[in-house]
Amino acid sequence: MQLLKSRIDLYKDKGDASLTKRLISLIIDFFLLLATTLLLYLGTHQIVINNSTYQSSEAKVKDEIAYYNQLLSETHLIDFSDEELTIRYDLDSMALKLLSLHISLSYQEDANHDFTVEPKECLEVGTASTSDDFLSYFYTIYIPEHNTNNAFVDFGSLTPLNYYKNLMKGYAGSQFDNYFISGDEGELFYLRPYVANRIYHYYFLEEDIGEAEYQYISQLFYYAIEEAELTLINSSPYYEEHYLPYREAYALQGNIINLAFLLTSYVAYLIIIALPQLFLNDSVTLGKLLMGLAVISRRRQSLKWYFKLIRLLAGLIIAPLVTILIPVLPMFNFNFTTFNLPILGSSFTYAWFLVILAGLLIINGLVALFNHRHFTLLDYLTRSMIIDKNKRQEYAE
């Protein structure tokens, strides 16, 4: 039952709504829908976090992260800033530490006095060696002690140190000899002193020399640490017994959150968009009502029920776009991680789902730019038009 009686007889001579008014009404509806979605999700989130499936997944994720961080600490690959091993240093920080260790080693091996100044900051960090260079430690000490049945790598006939040297040579490619000295058998490779000196002057003394060398070596070390961590993740039995269960629990947790996003946006759409169209008149939303607009058929009659339904369903499809702003709520702290998770076990992520919806919305709107009456694609599909109740028709039908 409609709260307001249709005045279709008064719309015979009313003109098309301007593109500006249509856009303003759309913006009003969007922000009303957004505000309602955000408010509703405050309640929805409480339902989610008290769901038994969500809680078990969350507990599994936390347990596996704690286990992995402990394992990572034992490998020496990544440092942590707290004793509880919850806050890890990022790869950039670890690459800088590795660079500092190698600059110190290069300084000690500098027989030709290529260094023009003592690298004090680097010496305070330490000196690279098979035990103190954390990347070398991983390949030459940790892996050999845990490499049963080649769980990590297959050394073949190589010693762990030579395997590590060959690995770094492979990462560096033809540039390895330009930047490093391989060292004697059983010794760790090190930066050429003149290269290390230039890097030290660029990064630590902020001088104009050595930028190219710094960029190359820091990126090389970053990549090498990243690959070492992937080696750890892919090792057996960690990958099968811990990583895969972690990913499954994390994906399930994310899917529950994303499903809550969708349901919340649909309920908000029902309240803000669908109900006004059902109980007011002429398929108006609150935005159209405020702007004095109405939706009627091309024949200037009330829109057929099935065309009204199509317009409602089209809006329902687009409604989840407002969920892109849910992560601004305090419980997410601008964390959009779940958007990158696959939906329901597929390779299709929630982010791509939103991109497709945005594409549909853009296509629908672009059509209005290429016809003089500013009809959208949805207007054409439903044989409808949006008129301005305060504007006289300027031309005959």
Compute the average pLDDT of residues 72-97. 96
Token pair recorded at residue 26: 């759309």
Which range, 24-33, 217-226, 272-281, has the best average confidence (pLDDT)? 217-226
Residue among 261, 251, 255, 270 nearest 328 (CA): 261
Q: How confident is the model at residue 340, as a pLDDT?
A: 85
What rounded mean pLDDT belongs to the chain? 91
Q: Give tens-digit pLDDT for 298-349.
A: 888 888 989 999 999 998 888 999 998 888 887 787 788 888 877 766 678 8
Report the alpha-carbon distance of residue 243 to residue 230 in Å, rounded.
11
Between 202 and 346, where is the model more confident? 202
pTM (predicted TM-score): 0.80
Q: Give the number of other CB atoms < 10 A from CB of residue 124.
A: 9
Quote the tokens at residue 170. Answer: 């492979």
Contacts of 359 (CB under 8 A, 6+ apart): none
Query: Which position has the higher pLDDT, 13 or 381?
Result: 381
Q: What is the phi/psi pair of residue 386, to 5°?
A: -110, 120
pLDDT of 14 reads 82
Q: In the chain, pLDDT over 90 holds for what percent of residues? A: 72
CA nearest to 295, candidates 1, 21, 3: 21
Q: Which residues contact 270 (CB under 8 A, 6 or more apart)?
A: none
If one compares 50 and 389, the residue with the highest pLDDT of the two is 50
* Whether residue 55 has pLDDT greater than 80: yes
Hey, what are 58's tokens? 């969350």
321 within 8 A of 26, measured Cβ to Cβ: no
User: 387 by DSSP, 3-state: which?
Assistant: strand
CA distance 197 to 106: 9
